[in-house]
Amino acid sequence: MTKAKARHILVETEAECLALKQQINDFETFDQLAREYSLCPSGRVGGDLGIFGPGKMVPEFDQIVFNETIGEVHGPIPTQFGYHLIWITDRK
pLDDT for res 61: 93
CATH number at residue 57: 3.10.50.40
pLDDT for res 60: 96
Is it the case that residue 34 has pLDDT exceeding 90? yes
pLDDT for res 28: 86
Question: Using an 8 Å Cβ cutoff, are 9 and 20 in contact?
Answer: yes
pLDDT for res 47: 97
- pLDDT per residue as tens digits for the range 39-90: 999 999 999 999 999 999 999 999 999 999 999 999 999 999 999 999 999 9
Confidence of residue 25 (pLDDT cuts 50, 70, 90): confident
Is it the case that residue 27 has pLDDT exceeding 90? no
Range of the domain at 72: 4-91
Question: Using an 8 Å Cβ cutoff, are 46 and 7 in contact?
Answer: yes
Number of domains in the chain: 1
